[in-house]
Amino acid sequence: MATHSENQYFVPHGSVYPSILSLGLLSLISGFVFSVNHLAFGQWMMYLGAAVVIAMTFKWMGTIITENLTGKYKAWEDKSFRVGMIVFICSEIAFFAAFFGALFYMRMISVPDLAGFDVDITPYKDFLSTWPSAGPGGVVLGTEYVAPKFTAMGPWGLPAINTALLLTSGATITWAHWALIKNKRTQLVLGMLATVLLGVAFLVCQGLEYHHAYTELGLTLGTGAYGATFFMLTGFHGFHVTLGTIMLIVILIRCMKGHFTPEHHFGFEGVAWYWHFVDVVWLGLFIFVYWL
């Protein structure tokens, strides 16, 4: 057991933010459920809930930054944040694993199985086990589903550019981190700015890619097994990149304000870890969704 050079563990004030945040989530969720089921007030409850969630998140994080700046967090608390962040990223890995699992299952098991029935009894006579696949078609909950013709998203256009963008951003954030450790403010801010811009560029490219998929390739969320896994995996990844970029912007502003010292900058490192995690997930996506 480590001995603690500072002997006090900081237990914060009571806070109303968590409970109001939960209430906001309740409103956001009920609103969403109402609106997908075409009931009244759904959208307004959603907007209200989202506003509360965003406001509370900012207030909460703001409190933490203030506490940090007033020197409440020392080595002992810092270790709590580090372990906590690592465990949180592990839970995120498990979340993505579910969608990767769905991709592998469909590709390796359900699509070959559907194509592999005895020809005398199969309802899917002309269906071949190929990937990408939109499935054999058939009646879905009473409505006819005709497997659409579509073109798969190749790896070597926008996706390759996106890979380059994200990998570069991983390098620039590390460059910024080195600068932080050596206390070089200009290099730090430049590195962070570059990382943010690369993140934004990635999101723009992904927007273009989705537009291209929907308008020219005939590839949509409803395009069977391929469309579902493609959009869910890249979509959730894009959502994480969006969150990561917002966090990077906050960190950039904090860098410019000089919040971090070479010894004491968990906020920076936590976001950097998260960014690297998002980066690694993208490599998995690039290999298994786009390339192979």
Partner 1 sequence: MSTTTVANHEEHHDHPTGIMRWLTTTNHKDIGTMYLTFSLVMFLVGGSMILGIRAELFKPGLQLMNPDFFNQLIGVHALIMIFAALMPAATGFANWMLPLQIGAPDMALPRLNNWGFWLLPPSAILLTLPFTLALFGIGDGALATGWTFYPPLSIQGGIGVDFAIFAIHLLGISSVLGSINIIVTLFNMRAPGMTLMKMPMFAWGWLITAFLLIATIPVLAGAVTMLLTDRHFGTHFFNAAGGGDPIMFQHLFWFFGHPEVYILLLPVWGFIPQILQTFSRKPMYGYKAQVYSLWAIGALAVVVWAHHFFTAGMPVPALLYFMYSTMAISLPLAVLFFCWIKTMWKGSMTFETPMLFAVGWIILFGIGGLTGLVLADVAADAQYHNSYFVVAHFHYTLFAGGIMGIMAGVYYWLPKMTGNMYDEKLGKWHFWLTAISFNLTFIPQFFVGLAGMPRRIPDYALQFAEFNMISSISAFALGLSQLLFVYVIIKCVKGGKKATDKVWEGAEGLEWTLSSPPPYHSFTEQPIVK
Binders of partner 1 in range 70-129 (CB under 8 A): 72, 76, 79-80, 83-84, 87-88, 90-92, 94-99, 101-102, 105-106, 109-111, 113-114
Binding of partner 1 by 136 (CB under 8 A): yes
Stretch that binds partner 1, among 4-12, 174-182, 242-250, 284-292 (CB under 8 A): 4-12
Cα distance from N-terminal residue to C-terminal residue, the chain: 47
Closer CB to partner 1, 125 or 186, in the complex: 125
The helix (run of H) or strand (run of E) holding residue 107 is none
- Strand, helix or coil at 125? coil
Closer CB to partner 1, 77 or 169, in the complex: 77
Closer CB to partner 1, 142 or 263, in the complex: 142
Least distance to partner 1, CB of residue 251, Å: 20
Residues 227-246 that bind partner 1 (CB under 8 A): 227-229, 231-232
Residues 137-196 that bind partner 1 (CB under 8 A): 137-141, 145, 147
- Applying CB under 8 A, among 202, 210, 226, 275 the residue interacting with partner 1 is 226
The HSE-up count of residue 85 (CA atoms within 13 Å, CB side) is 18
Least distance to partner 1, CB of residue 113, Å: 8
Cis check for the bond before 132: say yes or no (omega within 30 of 0): yes
The Cα-based distances of 46 to 27, 35, 81, 242 in angstroms read: 6, 8, 31, 20
Which of 35, 55, 37 lies closest to 45, judged by CA?
35
Compute how many other C-beta atoms are within 10 angstroms of the C-beta atom of residue 83.
10
Answer whether 226's CB lies under 8 Å from 107's CB: no
Closer CB to partner 1, 41 or 178, in the complex: 41
